[in-house]
Amino acid sequence: MKSSIHKVLHPIAGRPMLLHLLASVGTLAPERQVVVVGAGRDQVEKAVAGTGAVIAVQEQQLGTGHAVAQAHDALAGFAGDILILYGDVPLVRADTMRAMLDRLSRGDEPRAVVLGFRPDDAAAYGRIIADGQGIIDKMVEYKDASEAERAVTLCNSGLMAVRSTDLFVLLDQIGNDNAAGEYYLPDVVMLPGAQSAVIETDAWEVAGVNSRIELAAVEALWQARRRIETMREGTTLVAPDTVFFAHDTILGRDVVVEPNVVFGPGVSVADGAVIHAFSHLEGARVASGAAIGPYARLRPGADIGPKAKVGNFVEIKKSSLGEGAKANHLSYIGDATVGADANIGAGTITCNYDGFLKYRTEIGAGAFIGSNSALVAPASIGAGAIVGAGSVVTKPVEADALCLVRPAQDNKPGWARRFREKMKARKAAKG
């Protein structure tokens, strides 16, 4: 990855790959979760805090079998089935994990269940040779495979289900007599004794990430599937390929999303809202019937009420707009409460920061803020009040009052003509 960030912490849809995987695992209600990590332990430990996972450290990278063996102490006393997954293979569904466990518990009691797939290009993946019932005859790494074995299209994802009573006994029996001198996890399948089985899934589900190119490819896979799910659930995406979701984006029915919209983490949009083109939303709630954009930005803490309007080049941060409130043009609303049906004129800003602390602005229901006004927080504009265009408000404005803060207009007849004549003469003299 050529990065100071641990590979498994690079994000897909705004969430680290490892946390995508742990979220899917979490739906199975596992008794224990163990994350094996080599370098970058501090980063991973911080990322998984609160997930219930514990860390096991692989000091030397001696292969996948060696990595799994490092979980031995963390699984001491555990009696049950074990899923072996990979932090850089983030898209595996919980249903697929359940299918692996179900196959492990079938009557023929395979020693292990391996998840296989058939990619368009098998490339350098390890191969699985199995019969029509999915019983594995042989598993082999690509670099150790014969030409005939390389011609097989069923590939090994590396994901596996094994009973706890078998796993570490089997790991103790594998060696490293191979081209890389490593302890391969798939070798447990080939040990003498009971048989193992393979089940298959789609290649997209076991797509792995080893470079930023592959990271972008997996992001594209995730986004494509989420767009389809979203439209199936009743949202209109006018140009689906141009809309990007976060892992937790929630959209209601009859929401319309126009082209080139980006959803960061923590966004919910209620039924019937419209997100116009080129808008960016993060950490925001949009109520039913509201309209956002085009070219709007909702930052964390933005709470847009029913039928409210946030227009072009308007930025909202840590502020609420009441039902029917409008901020249609070129405004910044930060650390504010805007009452129902209030109108924020073009070019208005809430001056919420003095270089050290943030302060709030309260705008009452039905208030009208004229264009190009600056509301210097802490500020209070009463319900129904009107602030004249161009005002700099530094004191509270009572309900239903008119606030004008600007110098008297002074027109000087003929001044502009005389100025032009004077400047033309000066310019001619210089020439």
pLDDT digits (tens, 9 = 90+) for 366-418: 999 999 999 999 999 999 999 999 999 999 999 999 999 988 889 999 999 99
Query: Quick check: 111 and 194 in contact, CB under 8 A?
Result: yes
Partners of residue 312 on adjacent β-strands: 329
pLDDT for 179 equals: 76
Residue 237: strand pairing partners: 257
Report the alpha-carbon distance of residue 323 to residue 287 in Å, rounded: 9
Instruction: Pick the catalytic residue from 6, 20, 72, 329.
Output: 329
The two beta strands, 374-376 and 349-351, are parallel
Q: Give residue 143's pLDDT.
A: 86
Residues of the chain with CATH 2.160.10.10: 212-403
Joined together, the tokens standing for residue 152 give: 């097989």
pLDDT at residue 109, as a whole number:
81
What tens-digit pLDDT sequence spans the chain (431 residues)? 999 999 999 999 999 999 999 999 999 999 999 999 998 889 999 999 999 999 999 998 899 999 999 999 999 999 999 999 999 999 999 999 999 999 999 877 898 999 999 999 988 889 999 999 999 999 888 888 899 999 999 999 999 999 999 999 999 999 988 778 889 898 888 888 778 999 999 999 999 999 999 999 999 999 999 999 999 999 999 999 999 999 999 999 999 999 999 999 999 999 999 999 999 999 999 999 999 999 999 999 999 999 999 999 999 999 999 999 999 999 999 999 999 999 999 999 999 999 999 999 999 999 999 999 999 999 999 999 999 999 999 999 999 999 999 888 899 999 999 999 999 999 999 98
Chain region(s) in the chain for CATH 3.90.550.10: 7-206
pLDDT at res. 407:
86
CATH for the stretch 212-403: 2.160.10.10
Q: What is the pLDDT of residue 268?
A: 98
pLDDT tens-digit readout, 96-146? 999 999 999 987 789 899 999 999 998 888 999 999 999 999 988 888 889
What is the signed CA dihedral for 296, 299, 304, 308, rounded to 10 degrees? Answer: -20
- Among this protein's residues, is 329 annotated catalytic? yes
**The dihedral formed by the CA atoms of 242, 244, 249 and 253, expressed in degrees to the nearest 10:** 10
Alpha carbons 55 and 53: distance in angstroms, whole number: 7
In this structure, the dihedral spanned by the alpha carbons of residues 198, 199, 203 and 204, taken in order and rounded to 10 degrees, is -130
- CATH tag for 7-206 (out of 3.90.226.10, 3.90.550.10, 3.40.50.150, 2.30.110.10): 3.90.550.10
Confidence (pLDDT) at 106: 86
Angle between helices 41-48 and 17-26 (to 10 degrees): 40
pLDDT of residue 192: 84
120-123: long-range pairs with CB below 8 Å, 24+: 120/203, 122/150, 122/152, 122/153, 122/155
* Tokens read off for 378: 């802490």
Which of the 8 DSSP states describes residue 361? E
Contact 141, 184 (CB under 8 A): yes
pLDDT of residue 55: 95
| Torsion of the alpha carbons at 49, 51, 54 and 56, rounded to the nearest 10 | -80
Q: Which residues contact 362 (CB under 8 A, 6 or more apart)?
A: 336, 337, 379, 380, 381
Q: What is the pLDDT of residue 194?
A: 74
C-alpha 198/C-alpha 380 separation (Å) is 67
- Which residue shows structure tokens 């430990």? 45
